[in-house]
Structure 1
Amino acid sequence: MNKFMEVLENILMPIADKLNNNRYLTALRNGFMVALPFIIFGSIFVVIANFPFLDRWISDSAYEAYQAALGPASASTLSIMGLFVILGIGYKLTEHYGGESIYGGAVALASFLILTPQVIEFEVNETIEQVGGVIPTASLGAEGMFLGIFTAFIAAELYRFFVEKDWTIKMPAGVPEAVSRSFSALIPITLTLSTFLVVRIIFSYTPFDTVQNFIYTLIQEPLTALGSGLPATLVAVLLIQLFWFFGLHGQIIVNSVFDPIWYALNNQNLDAFNAGQELPNIVTKQFIDTFIVGIGGSGMTLAVILGIFLIGRSRQLKELGKLGAPAGIFNVNEPVIFGLPIIMNPLIIIPWLIAPVIVTFITYYAMASGLVPYPNGVIVPWTTPTVLSGFLATGNSWQGGALQLFNIAVVFVIWWPFLKIMDKQYYENERSAEDQRNESVNM
């Protein structure tokens, strides 16, 4: 095991060093760190607002009032997390160049909003009505994240380019510094935003209408051809992981294509279950949500949290474990995804990608062989803790919960050497920083 870990370090560490020194990846990672406190806040209230089976303990009106009271917590953070990330990326990339960081973040955000659809469509009496002057929150969250990341990069670069060309307004001496800086940024910001406005106008004459529709279609269309079944499910799971690695909400992107298929299969099982017939499908919505995604969240990070508690020596991982465990029990894992971090972290790309794929194989064939019952079509709330959710999804079968525990063990084994490497790196960095502080004190 030690030799294997040394090989991994020798291969991955040089790659990690190169990626860590890349200004765009650094800005991307730091941009997500800006959003982290808001993400954690929203994640906590998602769990509280969707506490399992609370709707059965209280009346419908009380449950609706309860969710309505807590809903703004996640709606104003998680639902529009793209805004915080875009602002952070623009700020950090401009800071890297030594420019006015606040203007870099603001111009990135404004550029994205220019490209964002500002109209909402809804159906009234079988006719489509439109309301202008509003921005759909979906466009400000995961759905618009891909566009937002690249918009932030381009906007910050354009702003820097115009500043370095010295296309600025110089105020005379004696003008307050804040006023002088605002006028210095006026021309670079105007030129940058005008560029994105031209792009928006150009796309309005295309079949896509907006840049967001163009990018979203490019992602969705290849996925629609995949269909259903184990091969397509494996591809879907791999894509979820891959999108998340690059900072995109993989579940929202992939599920938008596969959910109609998975829900249809789920309903077939439910109809057969209610009729006392043999269940026809293994892969259903509950197959994905309960046995793949619903074990701590995307990537089955409940096993990662367990590994942190067992092997973690670094303060960073220990604190992350304490922070991520309560949310992870209810399958909310943004604290782990953005705190470990998982996004753009080459040290963990191997376990992050392959562990859910292997678990998908195991789950499918455990059910195909008859060791575990098929999901019976009953929708189990996604915040239901592991073991209980497996028990309920398979018709109150203990085998469902046992399979979830086995899957956790598989993911844990796959992640073990990579967590050891990461923990060692963090621990050595913390020791080095502590030694430097002690030296400075002694001096």
Structure 2
Amino acid sequence: MNNSKFMDLLERILMPIAEKLNNNRYLTALRDGFLVALPLIIFGSIFVVIANFPFLDQMISEEAFAAYQEALGPASDATLTIMGAFVIVGIGYKFIANQGGEGIYGGVVALAAFLILTPQVVEDVEGGIPISALGAEGLFVGIITAFLASTLYQYFVNKDLTIKMPAGVPDAVSRSFSALFPVSLTLTLFLVIRIIFEFTPFETVQNFIYTVLQEPLTALGGGLPATIIAVLMIQLFWFFGLHGQIIVNSVLDPIWYTLNNQNLEAFQAGTELPNIVTKQFIDTFIVGIGGSGMTLAVIIGIFLIGRSRQLKQVGRVGAPAGIFNVNEPIIFGLPIILNPLVIVPWLLAPVVVAVVTYYAMFFGLVPRPAGIIVPWTTPPLLSGFLATGNAWQGAVMQVVSMVIVFMIWWPFLKVMDKQYYEQEKEEDNSSSASSNGTES
């Protein structure tokens, strides 16, 4: 099968899948819901870094260090630790708003439904909500609940089960009464679900979801094979001009964030980090080295070997953005999209890096991601240092990864540069001959 037929086959298979995923209202709401929570998550992560500043515990007394961490603790406790609550509100809000409804009611009914399902007992004391239920442990239940609650709410709204207020009533009051029946019916159904589960061996919805769904999916998503498939799909979608990260992350972010929060809890408790693959494993050690495809190393390669004007110009334009992990200038300027010359390194390099990074962390050569959410625009080296809990090995791992990407891309860049260079020479010679002919 030649390149053209292979490309056509891939396009016929992938394009319909990508289009369906992009247009799926549930995945869109899931993605947007996480984005609503992202500023709060990053805020909490920044203070986790500050609270665990390297060598600070050796510079001040043990009591002073404990007081310092206790003073900064609420910043992460009120954001990162209960990120599930913000995601639930975000999903409910976006799911309803994307359908033209009152998004705020979608958000609050999703959160209220989740709290109804949540056991309100803390260490045998009734009347409290466990913090863990609002974090990593409750994320899967929260996501499912948010979708069910907002879907039911919108269903009742569409059935016109609302109270119509007379003209002249303030708009805010009218909207509030319009939402009364849909909200009440939705929450009543969730109360019934809670009561039913109390008579089952699982006792709570949380126990049921964790046993049947969350635990198996998390174990699968945290493994190397699933990670390789995810990375390959990101690259393939980008190759055909589709935003691979948005598509794949929409499906896998709940798993990666759950794994991430488990590591964060262990990091803050000073115990062994349980997971290698997390949200930051993907974002920092693969995507966070110049963007999808780790193209910062490609830009370095362009500066080292580039002779053609086109390649040099692409490098100059792409370098400033690439430092901050924005690589659209490279994707569209090199180009990478639908370019058979680069499909091999484009697919191969991130997979090789994912495998090498995984085993470097597995054997303890590099610390595992500490659960700290590093902003995606953080330049490489700094991001690797921060993501591993202020460990220099994280930065070194990113350097090693760039070397790997550079070596894989090297021969393909040479071929591409030679092709562009010879085309430019022909154009220059043709232009020169045309100019001489005009003069004569």
SS in structure 2 at match of 1:77 = coil
Of the three residues 246, 259, 277, the one matched with 2:252 is 246
1:431 match: none
The answer (yes or no) to whether the contact 2:137–2:258 under 8 Å persists in 1 is yes
Tell me how far apart the structure 1 counterparts of residues 323 and 193 of structure 2 sit (CA, whole Å): 44
User: 1:118-175 CA deviation, whole Å, 9 max, x = no partner?
Assistant: 1112xxxxxxxx1111111111112111111111111111111111111112222222
TM-score under structure 2 length normalisation = 0.61
Q: CA deviation at 1:363?
A: 4.0
- Which amino acid is 2:177 matched to? F
Cα pair distance change 1:25/1:313, threshold 3 Å: farther
Of the three residues 165, 177, 182, the one matched with 2:176 is 182
Is 1:131 the counterpart of 2:116 in the alignment?
no
Tell me how far apart the structure 2 counterparts of residues 6 and 186 of structure 1 sit (CA, whole Å): 54
Q: CA deviation at 1:238?
A: 7.0
1:330 match: none
1:26 match: 28
The answer (yes or no) to whether the contact 1:80–1:138 under 8 Å persists in 2 is yes
Cα pair distance change 1:316/1:185, threshold 3 Å: farther
TM-score under structure 1 length normalisation = 0.60
Is 1:358 the counterpart of 2:319 in the alignment?
no
Of the three residues 54, 67, 76, the one matched with 1:65 is 67
Is 1:212 the counterpart of 2:200 in the alignment?
no
Larger Rg: 2
Tell me how far apart the structure 2 counterparts of residues 35 and 352 of structure 1 sit (CA, whole Å): 31
Tell me how far apart the structure 2 counterparts of residues 96 and 201 of structure 1 sit (CA, whole Å): 32
The answer (yes or no) to whether the contact 1:286–1:377 under 8 Å persists in 2 is no
Q: CA deviation at 1:219?
A: 4.3
Q: CA deviation at 1:181?
A: 1.5
Tell me how far apart the structure 2 counterparts of residues 208 and 56 of structure 1 sit (CA, whole Å): 47
1:36 match: 38
2:119 match: 117
The answer (yes or no) to whether the contact 1:119–1:133 under 8 Å persists in 2 is yes
In structure 1, stretches of 5+ residues that fail to align are: 122-129, 227-231, 261-266, 268-284, 325-349, 368-373, 417-443
**What is the aligned length?**
337
1:201 match: 195
User: 1:264-309 CA deviation, whole Å, 9 max, x = no partner?
Assistant: xxx9xxxxxxxxxxxxxxxxx68966xx77xx93226245333248
- Which amino acid is 2:103 matched to? S
Of the three residues 42, 47, 51, the one matched with 1:49 is 51
Tell me how far apart the structure 2 counterparts of residues 116 and 253 of structure 1 sit (CA, whole Å): 21
Q: Percent identity?
A: 53
Q: CA deviation at 1:3?
A: 8.8
Q: CA RMSD in A?
A: 5.1
Tell me how far apart the structure 2 counterparts of residues 136 and 80 of structure 1 sit (CA, whole Å): 10
In the TM superposition, 1:131-280 aligns within 5 A as 131-219=125-213, 222=216, 234=224, 246-250=252-256, 252-253=258-259
- Which amino acid is 2:81 matched to? S
Cα pair distance change 1:318/1:12, threshold 3 Å: farther
Tell me how far apart the structure 1 counterparts of residues 407 and 189 of structure 2 sit (CA, whole Å): 50
Cα pair distance change 1:286/1:69, threshold 3 Å: closer
User: 1:305-351 CA deviation, whole Å, 9 max, x = no partner?
Assistant: 33248359999997796499xxxxxxxxxxxxxxxxxxxxxxxxx88
Greater displacement, 350-359 / 13-22: 350-359
- Which amino acid is 2:58 matched to? R
1:335 match: none
Cα pair distance change 1:155/1:303, threshold 3 Å: closer
2:282 match: 299
Tell me how far apart the structure 2 counterparts of residues 160 and 410 of structure 1 sit (CA, whole Å): 50
The answer (yes or no) to whether the contact 1:94–1:104 under 8 Å persists in 2 is yes
Tell me how far apart the structure 1 counterparts of residues 172 and 141 of structure 2 sit (CA, whole Å): 32
